Amino acid sequence: MFAIPKIISLENKAVKILPLSINHTDELFNISIDDGENIFYHMFFGPFINKNEVEQHITNFLKKPNTKNFVIYSLRMKKIVGCASISDINTTHGSAELSNIWYMKTAQKTEVNTNTIYLLLSHLFDKLGYRRVFWKCDVLNNKSKKAATRLGFKAEGIFKKHMIIKGRNRDTAWFAITFDNWQQVKTNLKSKLVF
């Protein structure tokens, strides 16, 4: 059996990864309205109309089984700039998904995502010895697919008619990093931790 990730916090010189709580409602609402339509177009949730919707979203996420949810704090911007999750945690097979990743517009295409993903991957592979970490997204979500590839995830294929999201069909693109290529991915990621 593999351990369940019990992350109190992770930190490097660029970001802090902190457990999501209901206390983050105001901050997350404020950043969610920064181009919210586009941020949440491919997500299961959002955009949020008011703080009550954000509070309900957090409450629902905190109840999800086999999921750990986080807020991402940018040390450069000195504020919370988004969220990420480790989900579909399988302690029998040592696998998990990095999911529900979203950032305010001004944090996108900055040091934030690379540093966040590096810390989460390192925790799963180096500390907990996981065998596989995967990433999936709408096949139409070109930003997410490019991010996955840039971060070292390898394309594995497409599940056709996989889901219905907000009334739209979703074909899902799958990507993964496995323990046997983690060291190479880790080296490449570390070279990108520039901010």
Say if residue 47 is preceded by a cis peptide, omega within 30 of 0: yes
What pLDDT is attached to residue 195? 55
Answer whether 88's CB lies under 8 Å from 111's CB: no
What is the pTM for the complete model shown? 0.96
Q: What residues are paired with 165 via a beta bridge?
A: 168
- Mutual orientation of helices 51-62 and 25-32 as an angle, nearest 10°? 120
What pLDDT is attached to residue 144? 97
pLDDT < 70 regions, the chain = 36, 194-195
Answer whether 129's CB lies under 8 Å from 1's CB: no
Q: Which tokens sit at 16?
A: 């802090």
What pLDDT is attached to residue 75? 97
What pLDDT is attached to residue 180? 96
Q: Which tokens sit at 45?
A: 């949730």
